[in-house]
Structure formats: structure tokens, C-alpha cells
Amino acid sequence: MTTLDEQAVQDPVGEPPSRPAATYRLFWPWVALCVACVGLMLGAPGGEVVPFHLIWIGFALAYGFEAWPVPITLVALGLATLSSGAILVSRANSGVIAWEETTEILLMAILACLVLWHVRRRVAATAAVTRLADHQVAAVRQRERLARLTSHEMRTPLTIASGYVDLLLAHEDRTGQRDDLLVVRDELGRLVRAGDRLLRTITLEDELPKDSLELTDLVEETVTRWSAVANRTWVSDTTSATILASRERLRACLDTLIENAVRYTEAGGTIRVFCHPNGPGTICLGVADSGPGFTSEQAALLNDREPGAPGDDGLGIGPSGPGGQTGYGLGIVQEIITNRHGTVRAERAPEGGALVRILLPAGRR
């Protein structure tokens, strides 16, 4: 199968989309210029040089802005060369100009061909880049569609399997079997969370519409949702703050931070979700917990990180502790927030664990 890059190499001169010559806006003005210049050459013996060169200057300028089909261009160049060249030869033959002046005929024809060749290469390169970009966009959309579909397809059987495991646990008294079932339930839960993270990552990267959003409502809703599934001491610390943002995107960011806090705290530990104005035009949103927190190296890595820099993969910035992961979620959150002119800061929480603070301009998405 021929790749797009190979196609570009095999077709180095390219060809613009086929369309009638009448649709080329600069072709006919250049033809009119040629006719006018040939008329001036005929009517001004001894003054042929300026109109002769105007023909080729006009071609280089017009063709540089608008590439015409090769056959039409070659016919037009041939006619321009023959008509203007015949006048120069006639004047040289009659002694009006020196024969050396006729060398301009060949030189200008060669120059026109070089212009044509270079412009065709530019057209071919632009077309190849466009095809590659379209192919990349289609591939990204296909991957996102597959990721969404896979995550949704996983969720139903995993939920059913978890329900059956819970049913078996309710009727199982033997210690060994209960321990085995608990391991199965834990692994199923990990798969469910992995699917949720996959969907959340896609949500973080999507371009979503922005609305005026009251963060207090978002924080309260998020805390209520998570408190039903995680046995922690949940604290909602909010001050009324309104931001122009995507609700889904901010909720996905909060879910990612809260999931980290749940992972690094034990049952009964404290998780505080907060939001408040942070000076003129800035909103602060974040999560704090009572877990082991960031090491000084991890905090510095997150705070000094430049998302998207060469060699940066967003890994290794999760809190320390037995639940340690790659920190990929934190890296994604930081990249999304940075792209929207915000910052993400890792600090030590008053509760003793990790504190992740998101600072966003109130008027930006």
C-alpha cells in the first residue's frame, strides 16, 4: 500500500484540483497584460524592453499566488514567448535593437519554467501536508470512538459481575472463599475505575462549550457523588465563585484529583474539596487529603513541569505511598489547565497529605 508520504514523492510537481480556466482569477488578467504589452512592443519600436519584461514579471507574480493547470500554463507561456519573441527578432533584424537583446527570449522562458516548477512543488507539499493532517484527524477520532465504545462496553458486564460477587459474598461464610471473592471484587473495581479514567481522559481533551458556572454547586454535587462510593470523611469547603468554563471538563478534573485522594487515603481518612476566589479575576479549585502526600521531589516535578515539552510524558508525579501510580492523571489535568491559561500547584495540605490547587482565570474556559 502506498503511503501519503510516498505519494508526495511520486508526484513532485503536484496538480491543483481540476476546474475550468475561467475560474482562475489571475489567469485572464495576466493574459490581458500580455496582450497589452505585445501591443506596446508593436507600437513603440526601440521601447520593447520594458513591456517585454512586464509579461514575465506579471507571470511570476500571478502564478505565485495562484497555480494554474500545467497544460493551460504551458500553452499560454508558449504563445507569450512566440508573440513577444517574434517582435524582438523582427526589431533585431531591422537593426532597431541589437541581436544580443534576443537572448532575453530564451532566458525569460527558462525563468518562467523554473517558477512553474517551484510552484508545483509547493502545491504538492501543501497537498501532502493537508492529506496527512486529514488522515491524522480521522485516526484520532477513530481512536477516541474506540476508547469510548470499549469503556462503555466494559462497564455493563463489569457491573453485572460485581453484583454477582456481592451476592456470593452475602451468602458465603467460609473465610477462605470470602477472601478470594474479595480479591475478585477488588480487581473488578480496578477495571471499572480504569474505564472511568479512560472516559475522563477523553473528556479532558475534548473541546466543550463554555458556560457561566457556579463552582459551589459543582463541588457539592461532586462530593455527594463520591461520598456514596468511598468511606472517607468528606469536607466541602466552598466560597461562592463563578467562572466561565466547561462544566464537564472541570468535573472531570475534580474527579481525577479526588480519585487520587481516595487511592492514597485509608477508610475514614479526610478528603476536602474546595473552591474560592483567589484575587481579582482568578478562581481557585482543588482537593486536599490526609494521605501520605507528595514528597518534595514530586511536588517540585509537578510545579516545575512544562506540559508538552520534548520528553515529557506526565509520569512519576503521583503522591507517595502503597497506592502509588504513574501520576498520568495529574499530568493530563495539568496539561489541560495550562492550555487554558491556568496553573496547577502541588503542596502540603493542612490535613497532612497532598493538596492540589487549580488556579484559573474566571473569564476563560
Confidence of residue 178 (pLDDT cuts 50, 70, 90): confident
Radius of gyration, alpha carbons of the chain: 35
For the stretch 289-341, pLDDT in tens is 999 988 888 888 888 876 655 444 444 455 544 444 445 678 778 877 887 88
Q: What is the pLDDT of residue 5?
A: 41
Residue 123 in this model has a pLDDT that exceeds 80: yes
Give the range among 100-109, 135-144, 245-254, 267-276 with minimum mean pLDDT. 135-144
Pair type for strands 233-238 and 354-361: unpaired
Q: How confident is the model at residue 274, as a pLDDT?
A: 96
Question: What is the pLDDT at residue 256?
Answer: 85
Query: Could you tell me if 213 and 242 are in contact, meaning their C-beta atoms sit under 8 angstroms apart?
Result: yes
| Model pLDDT, residue 2 | 41
Place of cell 524582438: 88
What is residue 207's predicted lDDT score, i.e. its pLDDT? 57
pLDDT confidence band for 217 (50 / 70 / 90): very high
Pick the CATH number of 209-361 from 3.40.50.720, 3.30.1280.10, 3.30.470.10, 3.30.565.10: 3.30.565.10
C-alpha cell at 214: 457556579
Q: Which of 253, 265, 272, 274 is nearest to 197 (CA)?
A: 253
The CA distance from 254 to 218, in Å, is 9
User: What local confidence, expressed as pLDDT, does residue 328 receive?
Assistant: 61
For the chain, what's the residue count?
365
Q: Give mean pLDDT, residues 247-258.
A: 85
Least confident range of 13-27, 197-211, 236-250, 257-271: 13-27
Report the mean per-residue pLDDT for the chain. Answer: 80
Question: Which amino acid belongs to residue 141?
Answer: R
Domain range list for the chain? 4-136, 209-361
Please say if the pLDDT value at position 40 is more than 60.
yes
Average pLDDT of 163-180? 84
Tell me how far CA of residue 358 lies from CA of 122, 153, 345, 363, in angstroms: 45, 33, 7, 15
3-state secondary structure of 234: strand
